[in-house]
Structure 1
Amino acid sequence: MNEIIFVVEEAAEGGFIAKALGCSIYTEADDIEQLHANVRDAVACHFESEDKPSIIRLHFVRDEVIAA
């Protein structure tokens, strides 16, 4: 695996929630810098060193509701 993709959403209570696509990896953080560190740590814990992806992609998703 060369790349792993995380879908990142804003948490209702503040901060961020990141979920990996195709893997059971989930992490949370209060800010972007902490999110980067937590995602790297979660990937390192989930994969053996020879299977670890070389690229981590964060896809930020934001729901926005507007009046019609």
Structure 2
Amino acid sequence: MNEIIFVVEESDEGGYIAKALGTGIITEAETIEELREAVKEAVHCHYEDEATRPKMIRLHLVKDEVFAA
């Protein structure tokens, strides 16, 4: 696997939640910078063997916007 993709959404409580597609990796943080580090750490923990670890991490930021019609 060369790349792992995380869908990033704003949390209702504040901060961000990142969920990996195709694996059970989920992590959260208060800021985007903290989230990048948390995601990297989670990937390293999930893929202990460097040979199977993805080489790139992609964060796909999703923002829902609701407003009156």
- Which TM bucket (shorter chain)? over 0.9
Q: Tell me if 1:67 matches 2:51.
A: no
Deviation digits for residues 25-66 of structure 1 (CA, Å, limit 9, x no counterpart): 000000011101000000000012110001100000011112
1:1-68 to 2 correspondences below 5 Å: 1-47=1-47, 48-68=49-69
After superposing on structure 2, the runs of 4+ consecutive aligned residues of structure 1 that deviate more than 2 Å are none
% identity of equivalent residues:
62
Q: CA deviation at 1:67?
A: 1.3
Q: What runs of 5+ residues in structure 1 fail to find an aligned partner?
A: none
Runs of 5+ consecutive residues of structure 2 not aligned to the other structure: none
Aligned residues: 68
- Name the CA distance, whole Å, in 2 between partners of 1:33 and 1:67: 32
TM-score (norm 2): 0.95
TM-score of the pair, normalised by structure 1: 0.97
